[in-house]
Amino acid sequence: MKKNIEKNYKLLVIIMLGFMLVVSILNAKNDSAIFDETAHIGAAYSYVTQREIRLNPEHPPLIKDLAGIPLAFMNLNFDTAKSFWTGDLEKKWDEGQWAAGRHLLYEAGNNADKIIFWSRLPIILISLLLGFFIFKWTREMAGTLAGLFALALYAFNPNILGHNHYVTTDIGIAAFTTFSFYYFLRFIKRPSWKNVFIGGIFLGLIQLAKFSSIVIFPIFGLIIVIYPLIKRSKETEVKTEEEKSIYSAKMKILGEYLKKGLIAFLISIFVVWIVYAANTLNMSKETVSEAINFNFPESQNDNPKNLYTNKTLNLLNNCSITRPLATYGIGMGYVFRRVSGGNGAYFLGQVSSKAFPAYFPTVFLIKEPLVNIFFMLMALGAGIAMMIKKIRLAVKDHIKNIFSEITAHFWHNIDSTSMFFFIILYSYISITGNLNIGLRHLFPIFPFIYILTAKVIFEFIKRRREKQSQTMLYFFVATLTVIMIVQSVAAYPNYMSYFNEVVGGPKNGYKFVTDSNADWGQDLERLKKFLDEHPEITKIRLDYFGGGDPQYYLGNKYLMWWDSKRPIENGWYAISTNFLQGSLYSTEKTEDDSYRWLIKEKPIYQIGTSILVYNITDAK
């Protein structure tokens, strides 16, 4: 059985990626535009057609460029005479991205569904490429079976399937983080000029995927210093009478790594410059200067960092060659300002713009499939067991230089060690950060979790001496994998709002946490289908959270509603769970301006998972 699987691994890879492709295309077709896509899609189209980065500045342009490529071949209406393009800076930078997206999708006479679908396809392709890399890297580290297992953890994960068809940066940053790590570590292990060049390119691409990618630099910096110091080479293994010779050899190797690492970094900056230059061809010095002064006003003399940033960016803007780097700096500053401001979120009966320390650990435990969590715990336990065994052997063999053994382990396991420390660092930053808006923000560490889980489990199995023990463990893992696959298929189409059985599944998840975990506006078209199937509902009062346009889809059946609107009327209501929970549990809202009057009412229908339908007959 094992040999047959390994023999036919290519077919299995195609099947798993094929499953992802089919499900993703279906979701891309059936899900309404989610909240963030309004800004992203409008910006994507403007980047590829106008060559200006005015819209959605809080993200670098790479992912939007890719999403905008299919749209460039459509004859779309996009009026740049509108205020979202020509208005004052505050409207252009903070409101313009949303207005531009609504205009492109719903107000300019374009086919919104067609635009949304085609802009999502490049994101799906990125997710498939990421799946292939997960398989490839794990196979290189731990064998074919481990590679297939890691791919299964990824390809059948409901949270991945729930987001890999949206025009956002979440899948993109996960993919380019993985690519960047792979090629950087290949350079570290084999520092040829070819690997320096390729590593530099991907280091640039990750910076173009999302500004938060800067968290990889501390990890890469430590690796590039530590690895050459512990690297075993012919030069450092030569037995000499003086330790100075070994020290000099290591310093020479370190110098070579630092030199090549600097060149790789400079290549990455050049890649960033190329992409920004292509996206700012039509941006004048005056336009960029306005943006700099708006985001970093000189009037704030009490903030030295703000003043220094303003002067630096204006200096870069003064030269047409360095102007693209000025626009990169504007975006970087913009996103840090947003992060410091926080984001309102509902979590376990509370609503706050401040971070919940328990947010990400809790969301991970209730949104990841239980089988996946079991596999991760299994890998953790197996890893600890193998470590304890190695320590015991070292003590038994009277190994004096434990430090030497530790460095040797790091040297032989540079890939897995780097992944592990990145997971720790990124998790810490996420938990202590001030943006609690979804499990999707942990996506950059998901590929590494799957790779390490597969590697440790299959290494543990291979180390079993008894053939029967190996066979039983392989059967156990295979059985749980089949259960995981069946559960994933059964969860269709509610992948974005997936929650595991601990909290009652996707239908109940919104009671614990909302936003992109449960309700991002994905069910508006399903509401339209519901109303078509219920002609008795001629009017519905809708409070919708998302990127869809109710008027566009529901026409004259739609009545705008919100939580503080009074008087309460008899009739049909459709309330997005994001708005519902935010209103019910906000400490800033009273009985008269909230949805607390709905507490005693029971929803008659649940559209998808994110819209609750009520029929009020005794309004007071």
Interior/surface letters 302-340, b for 16+ CB within 10 angstroms, e for the rest: eeeebbebbeebbebbeeeeebbbbbbbbbbbbbeeeee
- Residue ranges of alpha helices (H) inside 231-369 are 234-237, 243-279, 285-295, 304-317, 323-341, 359-367
156 belongs to a structural domain = no
**In the predicted model, is pLDDT for residue 237 greater than 60?**
no
Mean pLDDT computed over 52-60: 86
Q: Could you tell me if 213 and 177 are in contact, meaning their C-beta atoms sit under 8 angstroms apart?
A: yes
pLDDT band (50, 70, 90) for residue 342? low
From the list 452, 504, 457, 462, the residue with the least C-alpha distance to 481 is 457
Check residue 512 and give its pLDDT. Answer: 96
376 belongs to a structural domain = no
From the list 428, 445, 522, 448, the residue with the least C-alpha distance to 170 is 445
Whether the full predicted model's pTM is greater than 0.85, yes or no, is: yes
Q: Which residue range(s) make up the domain with 529?
A: 512-616
485 belongs to a structural domain = no
**In the predicted model, is pLDDT for residue 358 greater than 60?**
yes
CA separation for the pair 46, 64 (Å, rounded)? 9
DSSP for 8-36 reads: THHHHHHHHHHHHHHHHHHHHHHSPPPTT
172 belongs to a structural domain = no
For 574, other C-beta atoms within 10 Å of its C-beta total: 27
Indicate the number of domains in the chain: 2
Strands (E), 437-486: none
Percent share of the chain, pLDDT over 90? 69
Which of 293, 326, 341 is the C-terminal boundary of a domain? 341
Which of 341, 364, 386 is the C-terminal boundary of a domain? 341
Q: Could you tell me if 118 and 71 are in contact, meaning their C-beta atoms sit under 8 angstroms apart?
A: yes
Residue whose pair of structure tokens reads 């094929």 in the numeric block: 18
Q: Could you tell me if 284 and 252 are in contact, meaning their C-beta atoms sit under 8 angstroms apart?
A: no
CA separation for the pair 349, 510 (Å, rounded)? 11
466 belongs to a structural domain = no
DSSP for 486-539 reads: HHHHHTTT--TT---GGGTSTTTGGGTB-GGGT-SSTTHHHHHHHHHH-TT---
Residue-wise pLDDT tens digits, 156-192: 999 999 999 999 999 999 999 999 999 999 999 999 9
Mean pLDDT computed over 304-329: 89
CA separation for the pair 423, 426 (Å, rounded)? 5
Residue-wise pLDDT tens digits, 3-22: 777 778 999 999 999 999 99
Mean pLDDT computed over 313-323: 92
The answer to whether the bond into 218 is cis (omega within 30° of 0) is no
Residue whose pair of structure tokens reads 């029929």 in the numeric block: 615
pLDDT band (50, 70, 90) for residue 352? confident
Check residue 253 and give its pLDDT. Answer: 87
CA separation for the pair 377, 458 (Å, rounded)? 14
Check residue 90 and give its pLDDT. Answer: 59
Mean pLDDT computed over 437-452: 94
201 belongs to a structural domain = no
Mean pLDDT for the chain overall: 89
478 belongs to a structural domain = no
Check residue 284 and give its pLDDT. Answer: 87
116 belongs to a structural domain = no
136-145, 248-257, 404-413, 588-597: range with lowest mean pLDDT: 404-413
